[in-house]
Amino acid sequence: MIVYLVRHGIAIDRDNPKCPPEPERFLTAEGVKKSRGVALGLKAIGAKPDVFLTSPYVRAAQTAEIFAEALGFSAEKIRASDALKPGGNPSIAIQEILRIRAKELFCFGHAPHLDQVVAQLVGSKGVFTELKKAGVVCLEHATAQARWNLLWLLTPKMLRQLSK
């Protein structure tokens, strides 16, 4: 199984007087544009998702919808999971990932939660990644060894460049 962990795109700043409650924070116009470029970069390298799993928070769900459109995945098939909420237990997110049978799974969530998930998946004693907004890390589950391998971590800028 290949798992892509995607941090949500740029959202409205918490200090903005028009900022809604945390679960309802939404992507800015720049966040939408940059997220679309990242998704198109993944399309250019051949990503073919079977399952989309997202935090129920608006900014993550919007990012998932943008990626679904770019990658030809039906938005109606996007699943929300509380296991990907910010501040969640990484072990619960991993259990959710392992329950899903897919060749390529996309998970959309938040920092530092996704970085904690990466660390646990690869067996690190501490967090060693720092996903940027709309950044993506790709891992592979080597079932024969029952372990995860970090295949790559790309910044949004790198992925946007691949889409050109």
Nearest to 141 by CA among 104, 88, 89, 90: 104
Collapsing DSSP states into helix, strand and coil, what is residue 41? helix
Strands 136-142 and 147-154, sheet pairing = antiparallel
Summarised one tens digit per residue, pLDDT across range 16-43 is 999 999 999 999 999 999 999 999 999 9
24: its two tokens: 């309802």
Instruction: Give me the domain span that covers residue 135.
Output: 2-162
CATH at 54: 3.40.50.1240
Where is 21: in which H helix or E strand?
Answer: none
Summarised one tens digit per residue, pLDDT across range 94-153 is 999 999 989 999 999 999 999 999 999 999 999 999 999 999 999 999 766 677 999 999
**pTM for the whole thing?**
0.96
How many domains does the chain contain in total? 1
Q: Cα(100)–Cα(115) distance, rounded to whole angstroms?
A: 20
Collapsing DSSP states into helix, strand and coil, what is residue 46? coil
